[in-house]
Structure 1
Amino acid sequence: MPADIWSLRTFCIVTGGGKGLGYSIVVNLASRFASGSVIAIAGRTEANLLRTQEYVESHYPEISVQPLVVDLCLRDTYDDIFPTIFSLQSINAEDFQQVMLIHNAGTLGDITHTAIQQDDTRAVRRNLDLNIGSTMLLTAAFFKFFPDRTRFKTYVVNISSLCAIQPVKSFSMYCTGKAARDMFFRVMAEEEPDVRVLSYAPGPLLTSMTTHIIDHVGDKDTKQMFKDMKDNEQLLDCDTSMMKFVCLLEDDKFESGAHVDYYDVEKICDQ
């Protein structure tokens, strides 16, 4: 990616942008984006989104943040999302030189049961709808709204996981969702050579999700693995992971569609 990436007026949407890694993504991008850029943050909890908005706009007043309270897996259509954001911000697509779609939202699903015990039809379908279906549908809506690759530099980022390529006991839902998303974006990268596509695995993070895993995961080996990482301070701060993510965007050396793990990135950005 050219060195002037941060000089381009950018429209970016981040799903799950209200807390944890999503919050860190928004803040780190806002600190670098050009004046006049807009970041839309989608999530289910309005209070979290408003806290993200307040922090960014107080620290980086040249950046606008548009909260969007939405449950992505309950929508009948996704085509209204981008027109709604642009209407609320009183902006036009032509105002931007660069567009980014960052798929961060996702759920662990049921981590109390083994793979062959996943017999709750409603739970399985909701998990697949959020982790896979909504990702595909939001991506399609994004490209309907921004169809002209000659006008925009276009980037699509899938927040992935080591679980996309490595099985973890009790994580059948999560691993399946992450693996499917990686493959969806690999196919898209083949089909859309003008779009830069990245599946970034941020490493083991110190978030509320980790606490939930330790407290609720069914498999004792998986529980101990996460407990050991926490006790030995091997879990990463979200901002530490985001430093490498930013470098991936700046350097633009990744193969489009590739799965890149935090530990695969050699260069770390200066603070």
Structure 2
Amino acid sequence: MGVDVLSGKVFLLITGASQGIGRQIAVTFSGLLEKGSKLLLLALDEGGLKGTADKISKHVAVDFKEVDLAVATADQLSEIIKKSINPAQFDRIVIVHNVASMGDLSKLSTDMADFDYWRKYYDLNVFSPAVLNSVVMKLFKNVECKKVVINMTSHAAVLPVKCSGYYCSGKAAREMFFKVFAGEYPEANVLNYSPGTVKTQLFDTFRDTVADEGEQKKIHEMISNDQILTTEQTVNRLVDILKNQLYKSGAHVDYYDKLPIA
């Protein structure tokens, strides 16, 4: 059974595609795309991007670009995309806003007093997805194609995690932005997907550096109980969610949720 939201000639844009969930989305989705589709992979690690590109199904085209999304301007992002594709040749665009960082996990909220650190964190984790989304929508504004936007969110967007003030607030702000976008553009299919606790570099960072003892205990209990997901597990679940289309556009859907989600 195919996935309707990946049907036709698709332009698939994925940020944070050099490793982890972003890489797995690229690999899994590429196998579901039709001939004539194209992937554009963005991340800071060129070597990692090449590693992802090498794993992409051979029946679709792929480009990758090393870019620091925290500092790239709207014009620069627009040029990267225009050099890769002609918007008029696609039936559908799918954007996966996956780029993310944990932030400093050693601080309580009362110690987060550095304006520059806050700005840099939000530049990457909140502002860059918003700006990139705007750029893509403008490039495809006059093109007759369907639009799918997937924001990789987290349970931390709705549930506080101690010593994770940067990450929790960033995920919450980013998710709300895409909820607003979904309300403004009902023709777009918008999903805020929370992938569960997945074995990635972000997971390793949290496990190794979160200062709160309670959070340390929780994560080690999950490891002991074999509750950490693989990237394949969470991306396969994402595919099922997209296939069944039981959520309202803009909804927060977690790996463990039973749909439908309002």
Match of 1:243 in 2: 236
Match of 1:145 among 132, 139, 154: 139
Q: Give 1:95-110 correspondences, 5 Å limit.
A: 95-110=89-104
Give the deviation of 1:101 after TM superposition. Answer: 1.0
Residue 33 (structure 2) aligns with: 33
The corresponding residue for 1:136 is: 130
What amino acid is aligned across from residue 106 of structure 1 in structure 2?
A: A
- Once the two structures are superposed, residues 163-215 of structure 1 have per-residue CA deviations (whole angstroms, 9 ceiling, x without a partner) of 00000101110000010111111111111010111100000101122222121
Distance 1:217 1:3 in 2: 38
- Alignment partner, residue 62 of structure 1: 59
Query: Which letter maps to 2:10?
Result: T
SS in 2 for 1:155: strand
Deviations 1:114-168 (A, max 9, x none): 011002222111001111111111111111101136x111011100000000001
Structure 2: unaligned runs, 5 residues or longer: none
Give the TM-score normalised by structure 1: 0.91
Task: Indicate if the aligned counterparts of 2:20 and 2:201 stay in contact, CA closer than 8 A.
Answer: yes
- Aligned residue for 1:117? 111
CA distance in 1, matches of 2:194, 2:20: 15
| Partner Cα distance (1:259, 1:266) in 2 | 11
* Cα shift at 1:69: 0.5
User: 2:159 corresponds to which letter in structure 1?
Assistant: Q
Cα displacement (A) at 1:4 = 4.1
Alpha-carbon RMSD across the aligned residues, in angstroms, is: 1.6
Match in the other structure for 1:176? 169
SS at match of 2:55: helix
CA contact (8 A) 2:101 2:202 kept: no
Structure 1: runs of 5 or more not aligned? none
Report how far residue 266 of structure 1 moved: 5.6
Residue 179 of structure 1 aligns to a residue in which SS?
A: helix
Match of 1:234 in 2: 227
Q: Distance in 1 between matches of 2:5 and 2:131?
A: 27
Distance 2:221 2:81 in 1: 43
Q: How many residues align?
A: 259
| Shift >6 Å, 4+ stretches | none
Asked if 1:78 corresponds to 2:71, the answer is no
Does 2:123 align with 1:158? no
**Distance in 2 of aligned mates of 1:125 and 1:173:** 11
Identity of aligned residues (%): 32
Cα distance in 2 for residues equivalent to 1:169 and 1:6: 38
CA–CA separation in structure 1 for the residues paired with 2:201 and 2:70 = 21
Provide the rounded CA distance (Å) in 2 between the counterparts of 1:263 and 1:11: 28
- Give TM-score scaled by structure 2 length: 0.94
What residue in structure 1 maps to residue 217 of structure 2? 224
Q: Residues 50, 107 of structure 1: CA spacing in aligned structure 2 closer, same or farther, 3 A cutoff? A: same
